Every structure is written in structure tokens, then in C-alpha cells.
Amino acid sequence: QVQLVESGGGSVQSGGSLRLSCAASGYTYSNYFMGWFRQAPGKEREGVAVIGSDGSTTYADSVKGRFTISQDNAKNTLYLQMNSLQPEDTAMYYCAAESPAYYSGYYYYRRPWLFRYWGKGTQVTVSS
């Protein structure tokens, strides 16, 4: 059974940084996409960044140049390095995975409902 456990959230001031981690277990697929999504109160869940099994990455325009998604296959861990955080980045951040991957990263990051496996989330709060 696939389990995803996020960590690394917290409270920071505007301009600060955080690194989120997502530890995956029971996940042995070779063709997949994994990603980070976020949901603020009263808003729909939105894609932040996704990464494919080939290492290809896709980012939401709002985080390009500030966030970096990466993975350590040896540790079965997904990361999201978040720099220059702004109050509008405040949300619950979720890790998600889907396999097999049929479409592009751009297709997946805009469609969170395509991801079958989800973590419980980690809260990120950015104050001005």
C-alpha cells in the first residue's frame, strides 16, 4: 500500500524559505509523476510543481523561479524547496503520486484529481 508522509511545514516571515519533504513507502513504480499541491482556505486545490520519473519538472507560473521540486530515489523522498515565500503561498501543502503516467507534467499539474495517492498535508504559513 502506498503511503505518502509530508513534513517540513511551518511559519515563516515573508521572504523566508522552507523545504518540504514527502517520504514515500510501498511505491515501486518506474513510470510515474509525483507532485506538490496546495489548498488555501476557501480555495480549490492547485498544482504547485510536479516531477516525472524521467526527472522532468513542471511549475505553476506563480512559483517559477522561487520553488524547486526534486526527488531522491535512493531515499524514496520528494522535496519542495521554497524560497522568497510570500503571504499568498500560505496553504496546506500536499504530496501526491500517480502511476502509470500517460500524460505530460503540464497536463498532470493542472489536474489534481488524476492523482490517486495523497499525503495528509503539511501547513505552510507566511506572515508579512
Structure confidence at residue 27 (pLDDT): 73
Structure confidence at residue 41 (pLDDT): 93
pLDDT in tens, the chain (128 residues): 899 999 999 999 999 999 999 999 987 778 899 999 999 999 999 999 999 999 999 999 999 999 999 999 899 999 999 999 999 999 999 999 998 888 999 999 999 999 999 999 999 999 99
d(C-alpha 56, C-alpha 69), whole Å: 10
Structure confidence at residue 120 (pLDDT): 98
